[in-house]
Amino acid sequence: MYLIFRCDCGRAVYAKEGVARKKCVCGKSLKVAERRIIAKTEDNQTASEKVQELQEEKYGGAYFTTADKL
């Protein structure tokens, strides 16, 4: 089981159930037990997809392009 929650910076993060701490990409170390759980999933692939959905929901869709097209 994987737990999905948000860091204080706003980024969605997932961690395996039973893990005490998870480090966000912003550098903050989070105590999983103290976070509000947004969702639970059965496997890491589904958790990763859910985190991507939450990120796109908050920050808009991600798209990649080359510098010459900007």
CATH number of the domain to which 17 belongs: 3.90.820.10
Per-residue model confidence (pLDDT) at position 63: 66
68 sits in the region (left: phi over 0; alpha: psi -120 to 50; else beta) called alpha
Task: Provide the whole-model pTM.
Answer: 0.80
pLDDT at 28 over 90: yes
Kindly list the distances between the CA atom of residue 40 and the CA atoms of 2, 5, 51, 65, in Å, as whole numbers in the listed order: 6, 9, 11, 33
Domain that holds residue 54: 2-64
Residue 27: inside a domain, yes or no? yes
Residue 70: inside a domain, yes or no? no
Q: How many domains does the chain have?
A: 1
Closest CA to 30 of 53, 49, 63, 5: 5
pLDDT level of residue 44 (50, 70, 90 thresholds): very high
Per-residue model confidence (pLDDT) at position 31: 96
| Residues 6+ positions from 3 with CB-CB distance below 8 Å | 14, 15, 16, 17, 32, 35, 37, 39, 40
- Low-confidence winner among 27-31, 39-43, 55-59 (lowest mean pLDDT): 55-59
Residue 69: inside a domain, yes or no? no
Residue 49: inside a domain, yes or no? yes
